[in-house]
Amino acid sequence: MTVTAERHDTALPEGAGVFERTDFPTADAHEQVTFFQDPGTGLKAIVAIHDTTLGPALGGTRFYPYADEAAALKDVLRLSRGMTYKSAIAGVDLGGGKAVIIGDPATGKSEALLEAYARFVQTLGGRYITAGDVGTNSDDLDVMGRATDYVVGRNTAAGGSGDSAPMTALGVFQGMRAAAQAKWGTPSLAGRTVGVEGTGKVGYQLIKLLLADGASVIATDVNAAALDRVARDFPEVKIASSVIDQELDVYAPCAMGATLTDESVAAITADIICGAANNQLAHPRSSTTSANAASPGCPTTSPTAADSFRSPVNGSARPPTTSARRSRRSSPPSCRSSTSRSGTASSPAPQPTPSPRPGSPQPSRRLRRP
């Protein structure tokens, strides 16, 4: 299976790289952006650490055939920023980070490349903890675990939590039910039409839950193989070339993100927008331009995304502050690592802690807060 890169408008402001960007406010700048490459394996990766006020940065590794380096950089900056707010709203002692590997996972992924990438992650000394994302899975994370302590989401046989897709889909589904209760007075989605955009790991699981609840589903994906799987396993699902412009009750973006533009939201007929995609808004003002979608009081974006921080109800986004962190929880943040690993690394392993919970990241050092 070959994934084809979609070309988006990724032109940067003149002279912009990381420091002089106009699409990210200076007050919300990233702490660290690191570029890695390994010519022997073909690895080209970027790790972005947005904010570690609450703890070490956690975020998955996306393996995707970006059209160019500018597209990869823009994506990792947006994704890592979103992770800061996701961690903050979840009340966990973690900051925001993300990584991207430039390439087609169907043809470019190898154990050697994943191990090389993991060795680079290890050199960050626990400031960034990686996990799965588009183009990576628990098997890949097991391979990474040979060369870094800082990886979560490995297979249960390796002491990890396993595939996160079913639980992610369940969270999105429950978010839809909450929105349905607010909008229609009942949490049931029976008889409602839901458009699922993106039928990969999470989208597929979401479709299963929606059908079980009695919803009608329209699905689309740029990956023909993913759509073929849905058509084969769920023949009642309508396959379409696009869902965002269909007559829908719920629009569920579960693909790469940034589908909510000024133009697209003006055409959306759905009352609820709720999906698994990160950074669904192309830019903050998109949350105010839809006349049709999501009345006040209903979630307008994914319960797994940070876009809700930019909605009219919540006001402008701000990074979490130390004072806010202290008011929420008294214990200091800690860096965590996976429970099992083999091989060598380029930085010291974390100190062991008493009675670790199998499969969960363990505290290894304390971060100094401002």
Query: Which residues are catalytic, by number?
Result: 98
CA proximity to 274, closest of 263, 288, 291, 260: 260
How far apart CA 142 and CA 301 sit, in angstroms, is: 32
Closest CA to 83 of 73, 95, 74, 75: 95
